[in-house]
Amino acid sequence: MAPAQKVRPTDAGRLVVRCPDRPGIVAAISGLMAEVGANITDSQQHSSDPSGGTFTLRLEFVLAGLAARREELEGRLRGLAGEWQLTWRLVEASHRPTVAVFVSLTDHVLQELVYRVRAGDLRADIVAVVSNHPDLEPVAAAAGIPFHLVPVTAGTKAEAEARALEIIGDVDLVVLARYMQIVSPEFCARFPERLINIHHSFLPAFVGANPYRAAHDRGVKLIGATAHYVTAELDAGPIIEQEVARVDHRATVEDMRRVGRYVERQVLAQAVTWHVEDRVIVEGPRTIVFA
């Protein structure tokens, strides 16, 4: 949660910096920010390993006239980049990323995303709903979001993905909201660290299809859900968020599905919210989450 800011929304910015860990990096970055007159309102950092690892810093700051001064700030960062081997991401907090949501038959995750956007808790714009089934067209329509039916069969997968790509264009983020199709490695590669899936189990348990059936058969006492970035390997991408709910011996597979819906929607919405606030940084097979 960000602190209350009595500031003009357009003056608020975020900076995420990564570089090899060396003493002095915090002073270098915070000195730069002080020089341009930015007030750092939140700061979180992580060292993968203090001796020789990667240093990651996320700042929230306020800088009067940010948009106009962005180029100057970028220039100064470029000035440091060589010495410190910096990479960075500078974002105006008022920018609203665009999101395409892929669904199939169940609407609970889509409904939750729509609700959170409307409530102002998720600062993004859902610009397209893509589905391989027509069922959720009314849900998209009620939310005023264009709905695109793109059927997929074993033989038409490549074409279908091509069509979906054409529809969503250069969207900032793609969310698979219980989309019951495996996307191709090529599709994944188009959205590196910008493609989020909700898997309805506590990964790495119950990879693949029908995880509630598998959970029931194993007799687990907690069911879970996992939001993760999608990579070419099924259900193996970096995990952003997980949560569980308690079940007991009375729970049928159908009961688990019902209970699980509420976990899934919470986990995915949280992950997407953190992503669009630039709180999630992929580090190899894991994520750093500056919650």
Q: How far is the CB of 231 from a copy of itself (least distance, A)?
A: 12
Respond yes or no: is residue 248 known to be catalytic. Answer: no
155 binds a copy of itself (CB under 8 A): no
Q: What's the token pair of residue 178?
A: 């219980």
* Choice between 165 and 276, CB closer to a copy of itself: 276
- Tell whether the torsion through CA atoms of 28, 31, 27 and 66 is positive or negative: negative
89 binds a copy of itself (CB under 8 A): no
Which residues within the stretch 43-62 sit at the binding site for a copy of itself (CB under 8 A)?
A: 43-51, 62
* Choice between 28 and 167, CB closer to a copy of itself: 28
289 binds a copy of itself (CB under 8 A): yes
| Of 39, 31, 40, nearest in space to 80 by CA | 31
Tell me which of 11, 21, 107, 235 is the catalytic residue: 235
154 binds a copy of itself (CB under 8 A): no
* Choice between 131 and 242, CB closer to a copy of itself: 242
65 binds a copy of itself (CB under 8 A): no
169 binds a copy of itself (CB under 8 A): no
98 binds a copy of itself (CB under 8 A): no
221 binds a copy of itself (CB under 8 A): yes
Binding-site member from 98, 127, 147, 262 for a copy of itself (CB under 8 A): 262
96 binds a copy of itself (CB under 8 A): no
Which residues within the stretch 173-212 sit at the binding site for a copy of itself (CB under 8 A)?
A: 202-206
**Part in contact with a copy of itself (CB under 8 A); list of ranges 83-91, 171-179, 181-189, 239-247:** 239-247
Active site residues: 235
